[in-house]
Structure 1
Amino acid sequence: MKHESVETNAGLLIILTLAVISIGGLVEIVPLFYINDTIEEVEGVRPYTPLEQRGRDIYVREGCYTCHSQMVRPFRDEMLRYGHYSLAAESQYDHPFQWGSKRTGPDLARVGGKYSNEWQVQHLIDPQSLVPESIMPGYPWLATTPLDYSDIEGRMIALKRVGVPYSINRDEFEANVEHFGGETALMLDINRAEDNLIAQAQAGNYDGDPSFISEMDAIVAYLQVLGTMVDFNEYSEGYFAEFR
């Protein structure tokens, strides 16, 4: 069959197009019926603590996602620059996820622990003081704006309704103890949300000013946890391939 005869016959072209689309769809859909889960089974991934969650809210509010993605793709050049490619498990508690497709700035999926708290604070206040070629605007008000956490319990309850395993009763707390461990389960308890937020902010002193809890404390706490939950040294490359 000549290609010209396909292009000049509308009915045949439609039929062949539908056939190709159907085959492509089946190739992608059928394998899903033969795997138990599309999320990798890894240790360490947990929901964000109240302070980290407020930091994430500020990150979204300030539009950081418009210039920074949080998804290391499985390409050699990206893995050499950013580290192990991103796993679905790492974003399972994100609503919405921050994968992104545009990188005016570098990817932040593995930024946690890469720089000190002091570096992060200075970079947010005046990016050009650390990276002269940066076009990122400064966010100095984060360091002087008190963090509003009066509605943190409500925020956690809303996330709980979409599947994030925060606990609000004894049974849910015990389930988190079994799944995440006792220390983490305490941080995920909605009834202790404000106390946990204050305790983490004071212990971490992320903004370098212990006199009050600022929005800078929250966003730095969030940035410092990104990419730190999974110890990739415990897994072989072949292990993650089983979930694709």
Structure 2
Amino acid sequence: MFGFHYRMERKAIGLVVAIVAVASIGGLVEIAPLFTIHQTVEDAPDMRVYTPLELAGRNIYIREGCYACHSQMIRTLRDEVERYGPYSLAVESKYDHPMLWGSKRTGPDLARIGGKYSDEWQVAHLNDPRSVVPESVMPSYDWLSRTPLKTSNLGEDLSALRAVGVPYTDDMIANASHDAQGQAKPDSKEAEGVVQRYGKATTVRVFGGHPEQLTEMDAMVAYLQILGHLTDAAKKPLASVGQ
């Protein structure tokens, strides 16, 4: 084997041809499935986009490195489905840039964490993980409750996502900052605009427990509570998905 390799190295043209052949095999394996992507990736007409507040929470989630310990991809194995819920579908990450599937689980998978616990539980868990899960090794993120959420750049975030295919409208982009404020303040004038732009299913409530100030905790909890609820595709029989 080594003798063949040594002889190949002495022949530049032969070595180039061999390199091209091997690279082509790898490229074919990666590219070929894309030709059938419309048959393999489900369609979800009810798929919704992240609101500005949820998107801000997702940005904080990425910033704090939460993806390093939590995956967001339930595999088709029986024990995973029984523990976490229906296995993840490709379409559920349709608007995720970048996707946060992950592979390492120091903590549990979060693909369907939305609605599993109350807002109060999520706040307590982020402030002091061991107060609700004694065996937890997760660090405290209590500063999120004390840190005002920066909303001035959310319009730019939505605009950037639209450039890669997320269907945010001009109205959504122009009102991103107001919508972030309104989603966490149900009694405000801005709250009506959030529902109007993102649909009646949009959750409008005080996520972080302090209605007088919009904090990063509001954003983080809003994001966690929407995970698994951007579409109901995973809850439908496979034959009906896309119909």
1: CA distance between counterparts of 2:125 and 2:155?
Answer: 30
1: CA distance between counterparts of 2:33 and 2:96?
Answer: 25
Cα contact 1:71–1:99 (8 A) shared by 2: yes
2: CA distance between counterparts of 1:219 and 1:198?
Answer: 14
Cα contact 2:87–2:234 (8 A) shared by 1: no
Q: How far is 1:25 from its partner?
A: 6.9
* 1:181-234 deviations in Å (ceiling 9; x for gaps): xxxxxxxx1112122111101121001111110100000000000001232576
* CA 1:25–1:82: 2 relative to 1, 3 Å: same
Match for residue 103 of structure 2 among 91, 98, 101: 101
Paired letter, 1:58: I
Which 5+ residue runs of structure 1 have no aligned equivalent?
1-6, 174-188
* 1:43-76 deviations in Å (ceiling 9; x for gaps): 3322210000000001111110110011111111
Paired letter, 2:147: T
Aligned residue for 1:237? Answer: 238
Match for residue 200 of structure 1 among 183, 198, 210: 183
1: CA distance between counterparts of 2:47 and 2:130?
Answer: 33
Aligned residue for 2:124? Answer: 122
Matches within 5 A, 1:25-104: 30=32, 32-34=34-36, 36-104=38-106
| Matched position secondary structure for 1:202 | coil
2: CA distance between counterparts of 1:191 and 1:28?
Answer: 39
Cα contact 1:84–1:232 (8 A) shared by 2: no
2: CA distance between counterparts of 1:238 and 1:22?
Answer: 35
* CA 1:34–1:58: 2 relative to 1, 3 Å: closer
Paired letter, 1:51: L
Cα contact 1:142–1:214 (8 A) shared by 2: yes
Q: How far is 1:92 from its partner?
A: 1.1
1: CA distance between counterparts of 2:39 and 2:164?
Answer: 18
Paired letter, 1:10: F
Cα contact 2:48–2:231 (8 A) shared by 1: no
Cα contact 2:86–2:235 (8 A) shared by 1: no
* CA 1:223–1:19: 2 relative to 1, 3 Å: same
* CA 1:23–1:145: 2 relative to 1, 3 Å: closer
Cα contact 1:59–1:65 (8 A) shared by 2: yes
Aligned-residue CA RMSD in angstroms?
A: 2.8
* CA 1:76–1:141: 2 relative to 1, 3 Å: same
* 1:154-174 deviations in Å (ceiling 9; x for gaps): 111111112211111xxxx7x
1: CA distance between counterparts of 2:36 and 2:71?
Answer: 31
Q: How far is 1:237 from its partner?
A: 3.4
Cα contact 2:89–2:234 (8 A) shared by 1: no
Match for residue 149 of structure 2 among 137, 147, 155: 147
**TM-score under structure 2 length normalisation:** 0.78
Which 5+ residue runs of structure 2 have no aligned equivalent?
6-14, 187-204
Aligned residue for 1:227? Answer: 228
Percent identity of the aligned residues?
55
